[in-house]
Structure 1
Amino acid sequence: MENDHLLSHRLRSVRSRKRTKRKDVEKQIRKKFKRSKELWKIKRNTPLIPLDNPYQRGFVRFFVVRDDVMRSKDGEFFEEILKKINTYMYSESRQFLKKKRKFGRRIYVEKEQKLKPISLWSWNDPKLGLTARERQYFLKYEEYCPYRKCNEIYYEFTEPWRFTLRIRPNMITHYKPVDFELEKEIAELEACLQQHKTVGVINKKIYGKSYKWRSRKEDVHLIRSGKYFTCALSAKEIAENFQDV
C-alpha cells in the first residue's frame, strides 16, 4: 500500500509533462538564439585584410562642403554637420543614371541624391552628438511611412546649398575573409530560428511581447476593439463613447 502511494507521487500528470516539454523547447530556442547572436558578432568583427592589388569598382558620389563655405569662419562647423547627414551613392558609370518610363518609352534620368534626414530616435540619441547650435539648422517635419502605416517625425537640414556633390572612383582596398564553418553554423541556426512557431516563442519569451507592433495595446480603442469586459466605465460613459464613434 505504501509503495502504491509513493508511485502515485512519482507519476506526473499529462499537464506536468506538457509543461516540462514546453520549457525544454524554450531552453533550446534560447540557447540557439544566444549562439546566433554570438556568431553574428564574430562575423561582424572579423578584421579586414588589405588587398595586394586594389581595384576600382564603379564610382561613388557624396556631398562635400562648398569651397566658398569652407573658406569662411563656419567651414569646420558645417563640415561636422555634414559628417552626420552625408549620404553615399554607388554606380557603375560616372553619370549615375536610372531608367524611367516617359510617354510609353524608357529614358535615362539622373539619380536624385539628398542629405540624410535625422529620425526622432537619432535626434535624441547622445551618440549622434548634435550640439545646440547644430540643432538650429534643422527643421522638424512629418512624413507618412508606408511600411509602418503611420506618420514618422524627421529633422531635415535647412541649408543644403552649402554642400555640393562630388564623384570619385570607388576603390576596393580590403576584403573580409569567409569562414565556411561559421557560415554553415549561422545558416543552420537561421533555418531553425526563422520557423513560424520558433519566431512566436522568441517574440513572446525573449522580446517580451507576442503581438505585432501595429496592434499595440495602448493604440487600440477600447470601444472599437469590443473588449467591454475590461472597461471600468459606467453605462452612461459607455453610451457617450458610442455616440462619439
Structure 2
Amino acid sequence: MENNNLLFHRLRSARSRKRTGKKDVEKQIRKKYKRSKELWYLRRNIPWIPLEKPYQRGFIRFFVLNDDVKRSEDADFYEGILKKIATYMYSESRLFLKKRRKFGRRIYVEKPQRLNTVSSYAWTDPKFGLSPRERPYFLKKEEYNPFRKRNETYYEFTEPWRFTLRIKPNMITHYKPVDLDLEREYAEIKAYVEQHKIAGIIRKKIYGKSNVWKWEYETDLIKSRKYADCIMSATELAAYFEDL
C-alpha cells in the first residue's frame, strides 16, 4: 500500500507536464535564436578578398563639397557634417533616370537624391557624434508617419547648397566568398525564428514585450491631449455620482 502511495505522488499532473513541455520549447527557441545571431555575425565578418582584375559595375553618385566651400577655412567642418548625412545612389547608366507616367505615356526623369535627415534618436545619441557647433545648422521638423499614425520629429540640414553631386564609375575591387554550409544553416534557422508564432514567443520571452507596436500606440494615446481629457479619477467619479 505504501509503495502505491509513493508511486501516486511521483506521478506528474497534466498541468506539470504541460508546463515542462512549454519550457522545453522555449529552451529550443532560445537556442536557435542565439545560433541565428552567431551565424549572422559569422556571415558579416567573412573577410573581403581583393580581385585580381577589378571591373566596373554601373555608376555611383554622391555628395562632395562645393569648390568655394572646399577652399574656405571651414572645409574640414563641413566635411565632418557631410560624413554624417551623406547618401549614395547606384545606377546602370550615368544618367540616373527612372520611369514616370505623364499624360498616359511613360517618360524618363532624373532620380532625385537628397541628404539624409537626422532622427530624434540619433540627435541625442552620443555615438552619432553631432557636436555643439554642428547642431545650429540643423532645423527641427515634424512629419506625419502614416505607418505609425503619429507625427515624427527629425532634423534637416539648412545649407544643402554647400554640397554638390558627383558621378564616378562604380568599381568592384573586392568580393566576399560564400560558405554554402553556413548559408544553408542560416537560411533554415532564419525561416524557423521568423515564423509568426515563434517571433511572438521571442519578443515576449527574450525582449519582455508581447506586442511592441501596441504598447507604443497605447503610450502615445495616453499622452495625447484628446485621451487625457477623458480620464477621470475614482474620487472624481464618486463625487460626481454623489452630486446626482
Would you say same fold, with TM above 0.5? Answer: yes
Change (3 A) 1:128 1:14: same
How far did 1:75 drift?
A: 1.0
Matches within 5 A, 1:87-236: 87-216=87-216, 217-221=218-222, 233-234=234-235, 236=237
Spell out structure 1 runs of 4+ moving beyond 4 A. 237-240
Q: Distance in 2 between matches of 1:214 and 1:67?
A: 50
How far did 1:123 drift?
A: 1.1
Task: Tell me the matched-pair count.
Answer: 234
SS state at 1:155 partner:
strand
SS state at 1:170 partner:
strand
Deviations 1:176-227 (A, max 9, x none): 11000000101110121122221111111011111241444434559x99xx
SS state at 2:133 partner:
helix
Deviations 1:93-114 (A, max 9, x none): 1111111111111111111100
Q: Distance in 2 between matches of 1:126 and 1:211?
A: 29
Letter in 1 for 2:99: K
Task: State whether residues 148 and 214 of structure 1, in contact with CA within 8 Å, keep that contact through their aligned partners in structure 2.
Answer: no
Letter in 2 for 1:134: E
Letter in 1 for 2:197: K
How far did 1:147 drift?
A: 2.5
Q: Distance in 2 between matches of 1:237 and 1:79?
A: 64
- Residue 12 of structure 2 corresponds to 12
Q: Distance in 2 between matches of 1:50 and 1:151?
A: 46
How far did 1:148 drift?
A: 2.0
Matches within 5 A, 1:46-85: 46-85=46-85
Q: Distance in 1 between matches of 2:196 and 2:237?
A: 44
How far did 1:131 drift?
A: 0.6
SS state at 1:64 partner:
strand
Deviations 1:149-177 (A, max 9, x none): 22111110000000000000000000111
Change (3 A) 1:178 1:238: farther
How far did 1:9 drift?
A: 1.4
How far did 1:48 drift?
A: 0.4
Q: Distance in 1 between matches of 2:106 and 2:214?
A: 39
Segment of structure 1 superposing worse, 212-221 or 41-50: 212-221
Change (3 A) 1:239 1:40: farther
- Residue 35 of structure 2 corresponds to 35
SS state at 2:16 partner:
helix
Q: Distance in 2 between matches of 1:218 and 1:72?
A: 48
Sequence identity, in percent? 66
5+ residue gaps, structure 1, are 226-230, 241-245
- Residue 228 of structure 1 corresponds to none
Change (3 A) 1:80 1:220: closer
Change (3 A) 1:11 1:180: same
Change (3 A) 1:238 1:62: farther
- Residue 243 of structure 1 corresponds to none
Q: Distance in 2 between matches of 1:53 and 1:165?
A: 28
Q: Distance in 2 between matches of 1:157 and 1:11?
A: 70
Letter in 2 for 1:124: T
SS state at 2:42 partner:
helix
